[in-house]
Structures are given as C-alpha cells and as structure tokens.
Amino acid sequence: MNEQGANTQRAAARVAVIGGTGMNQWPGLQVIAQHAAQTPYGAPSAPLLDGMLDATPAIFLARHGEGHKIPPHAINYRANLRALADAGVRSVIAIAAVGGIADWFAPGEIAIPYDLIDYTWGREHTYSDGSEGAPLDHVEFTQPYAPALRSVLLDTARASATRIAGQGVMAVTQGPRLESAAEVRRMQRDGADMIGMTGMPEAALARELGLNYACIAVSVNWAAGVKGLGNIHAEIEQSIENGMSKVRALLTAALPEIHSESV
C-alpha cells in the first residue's frame, strides 16, 4: 500500500500532545505526515506532526518551535490551539516543565494540576478579541483543566504504576527569566504548588475552542528560594530526563484510552 493509501485507512488523530522544554520531540511517535498549518492568527510554532503512538493516532506540536527557539511570551498560542482544532483534535495533553513549590513536588516528579493562577501579561490570550466576526464569549473557567481527561491520566498512571507525585495548582509566569525568591513566596501564599511559563493562555484558548485540555507537569527544579539558594540550572540538567521518561510512560499508557473515550 502506498503512503497515501495507508493514510486514508488510518483513523484521524483525536489527541494532540503539546511538548515543551525537555520534550521538543516525541521519540515514541512514528511520524506519518507533517502539516505546515496556517490559521487566521498566523502559523503555529512548528509543523503539526501526525503519527502513531503504537496503534493510536496522535498529533505532536513543539510549543517552542523547531530547535526550541520561541520564548514563552512570544509563542503564538492562538495559532497553536486553532491549528490543532482545525486538524480535528478533541483532546490536548500539554507537557510543561515547572519549578516545584510544594514539598511533595521534587525535581524529577510529575503531577496533574487541577487549577491555575495566571500571572502573565501582554499575551494574545483570547479569540474574543473584539475583532470583526469574533464572538464575545465569557467562557467558564472554574476548572481550567478538563476533569474527565485528568481522571484518565490519573487512572492510567495508577494502573501502569507510573508515579504521580500529586495534583496541585499551577502558577503561570511571564518568563523567560526565573522568579525571585520573594515572588515565589508570594505565589506560595496565593496557593500555588508549582510554577511554569506556558500554561496560560494555552488552557483558556483550549477552553474557548471547546477542546479538552489537561497538563502533565514535570518538576525540573525547586522554585527559586524554596530549598535555599540552589543552582537551578544544574538541578534542571540533573532531573529533566528522569521526569520526561515518566511523561512518555504515562502518554503510552493513557493515549489509547483518551483516543477511544474521546475525553
């Protein structure tokens, strides 16, 4: 069968993975086609890689672009999410490297956050932007991460003995710099358990488009000042591969469920 024949017989991908720092590629995905998508908001960070994870179709998008060059505040989140929706995706799993604040979230551990606090500014953060033809939608965001999708991740982690350190609240900062110790203390008082730079507006845009969205957060360092004045970059180097191997194991276990249940 030629490649086109194989493609037409293959079920369309319903699940996409957005990979970030530490996961700019997805080695387990057998890529069948690449799409250089275009949207009314411009091009996504990278071509959509359409492939198979074992027997499950899936799409991968490198959030920071090929070669990991786009900083968190300059990512075209609107184009990324719109390109995935246009490709027929229903569920998005976002992979995010974060700094751990909570005691339970040591470097090398993974978590499934259940809520978030947005500290970002100046990003194109909505499709309801007042432009001609744009709807004015006040989307509900009480639970920013899709509960059913989170449940599949937590259940399959349990069934596949992939350790999840906890759930928790994600603080999303502007970056690209890391935080001061006082900023981290403030976020801790606000109720944050971890800090990343890309969780917003990604989660809100997914909600506006009606996509199921959940996050696998990987602690790659203790957030600034949480455990003294450690060397954050050295911590990241030491822990990132350990955390990402857990992410890959969880994706392998969870994707067939997510695809078949379309949660």
Cβ proximity to ligand HPA: between 98 and 205 the closer is: 98
Helix (H) or strand (E) holding 157: helix 147-159
Cβ proximity to ligand HPA: between 56 and 221 the closer is: 221
The distance of closest approach from Cβ of residue 144 to ligand HPA in the complex, given in angstroms and rounded to an integer, is: 17
The Cα 259–Cα 263 span in angstroms is 8
Cβ proximity to ligand HPA: between 83 and 165 the closer is: 165
The distance of closest approach from Cβ of residue 76 to ligand HPA in the complex, given in angstroms and rounded to an integer, is: 19
The distance of closest approach from Cβ of residue 74 to ligand HPA in the complex, given in angstroms and rounded to an integer, is: 15
Question: What phi and psi, each to the nearest 5 degrees, are found at residue 157?
Answer: -60, -45
Q: Do residues 216 and 165 make contact, with C-beta atoms less than 8 angstroms apart?
A: no
Q: What is the dihedral of CA 157, 163, 167, 170, to 10 degrees?
A: -110
142 DSSP assignment: S
Cβ proximity to ligand HPA: between 17 and 223 the closer is: 223
The distance of closest approach from Cβ of residue 204 to ligand HPA in the complex, given in angstroms and rounded to an integer, is: 18
Q: Do residues 83 and 61 make contact, with C-beta atoms less than 8 angstroms apart?
A: yes
Q: Which residue is nearest to ligand HPA (CB)?
A: 99
Non-local (6+) Cβ contacts of 62 within 8 A are: 19, 24, 25, 45, 46, 68
The Cα 61–Cα 183 span in angstroms is 31
The distance of closest approach from Cβ of residue 101 to ligand HPA in the complex, given in angstroms and rounded to an integer, is: 9
Cβ proximity to ligand HPA: between 17 and 53 the closer is: 17
Under the rule (CB under 6 A), what is the footprint of ligand HPA? 97-99, 173, 178-179, 195-197, 220-221, 223
Helix (H) or strand (E) holding 254: helix 232-261
Cβ proximity to ligand HPA: between 97 and 102 the closer is: 97
The Cα 175–Cα 173 span in angstroms is 6
The distance of closest approach from Cβ of residue 94 to ligand HPA in the complex, given in angstroms and rounded to an integer, is: 13
